[in-house]
Structure 1
Amino acid sequence: MKTLTYVSTKSIEALTWPVTIENTNLYSPALSVFTDFKTAAPRVIEASTRADELVRLMRKEHVRLKIVVDANNGFVGVISLEDLSEEAFIKQVAKGYTRSELLVTDLMRNKEDILALSYASLKNADIESLLYSQKNNELKHLLVIDQDSMKVRGVISASDIARQLKLDIDVTFSSFHNIYKLALLGEAHGDSKLQVA
């Protein structure tokens, strides 16, 4: 058995923070805004979870997207807070469901309906190219697929791009389309085009 060493925190004044890329701009590598599941575990939820319980859980965790898996951790889709909106619940109740019996599988986006980005193409792209390719995407998250392993490799969040580019936009409502308009066209709030270093 190994002996562990303990130290006093009395003289400790700082925290270790993740390394972030300073001065991210449109020409920074697209990988700088990518959440890689090789280094950050995916946030998953089982498809059989009650949808109303997931709303509470996601708000508590401050998470806007979950990867939906089956009982064997197999990928079956995604679900976002937008998919769990009050309007979505009302539509399902109007179809005859009881709110408390609705499951994640009833409100999620199935994997067959999702178009994801290739990891190989992401590796060679910059943020400007990424935003241009997503200029019509009203969603807030984009899955990235590693075609070599045939696995979901990670996710790109529109709000992460907005934060790293330091855009003057409410990240709660930011879609790829909104960020494209602001960062490349300068159309939001009458702002001028993002200045690139």
Structure 2
Amino acid sequence: MRNLELYSTASIDHLIWSTYEDVTKLDSPAISIFTDFDHSQPLVIDLDTSAPRALEIFERTHTFMRLVVDKRNKFMGVITLREFHQNMVKLATKERVSPEDVSVKDLMIPRDQVLSLDFEQLSSATVGDVVRALQENGLHHILVIDHELHHIRGMISANDLARKLGVPINIKEPPSFMQIFNHLG
């Protein structure tokens, strides 16, 4: 390993400004805004990770979502920090379990309940189409799957998208059955 020399910035007062503009607009191609697992590693967590350890991973890595895998790296579902907290509270109050006895498996959204976009469909969509899909379905994250190759190709995060657009993206929870029923009654 090499020791790097550090320098004072006392006499430096100019910044380099890139001439490259990453301008993402609602009519930009949607393919430009997704995290492609062909180019970057997916963030995963093991199914059997304890709740305290999972929370530590979320906090240490400053992430809000992880793909849940088993020991053979088979996709089992997703866990978000939001569901983590909601489900942990439910388990603690309802079943009175210790956090150490709870694992990611108990808190995650199973893969059969996870919604996704198809990579081919995404290739011809716009950023606006994706924003609408996220908002209409109350999703902060959405997976991108490749039906042809039968794998998860990547994901889109509403937070990342908001940063690229330079505007907040308001994601509201979709109404529950009871909310719809009460509204109609």
- 1:54 matched to 2:54? The reply is yes
Distance 2:107 2:118 in 1: 26
Residues 45 and 68 in structure 2, CA contact (< 8 A), matched pair in contact too: yes
Amino acid at match of 1:59: E
Counterpart of 1:42 in 2: which secondary structure? Answer: coil
* Aligned 1:86-125 pairs, distance under 5 A: 87-93=86-92, 94-125=94-125
Amino acid at match of 2:66: K
Structure 1 stretches lacking a partner, 5+ long: 1-5, 14-19, 179-197
* Aligned 1:34-183 pairs, distance under 5 A: 34-85=34-85, 87-93=86-92, 94-167=94-167, 169=168, 176=171
Distance 2:27 2:64 in 1: 27
TM-score for both structures, normalised by structure 2? 0.78
Match of 1:192 in 2: none
| Residue 84 of structure 1, CA deviation | 1.5
Residues 134 and 141 in structure 2, CA contact (< 8 A), matched pair in contact too: no
TM-score for both structures, normalised by structure 1? 0.74
| Residue 96 of structure 1, CA deviation | 3.8
Residues 137 and 175 in structure 1, CA contact (< 8 A), matched pair in contact too: no
Match of 2:29 in 1: 29
Structure 2 stretches lacking a partner, 5+ long: 10-19, 174-185
Distance 2:5 2:152 in 1: 40
Amino acid at match of 1:88: N
| Residue 176 of structure 1, CA deviation | 4.3
What is the CA RMSD across the aligned residues, in angstroms?
A: 2.3
| Residue 90 of structure 1, CA deviation | 2.3
| Aligned residue pairs, count | 160
Stretches (4+) displaced over 4 A: 6-11, 174-178
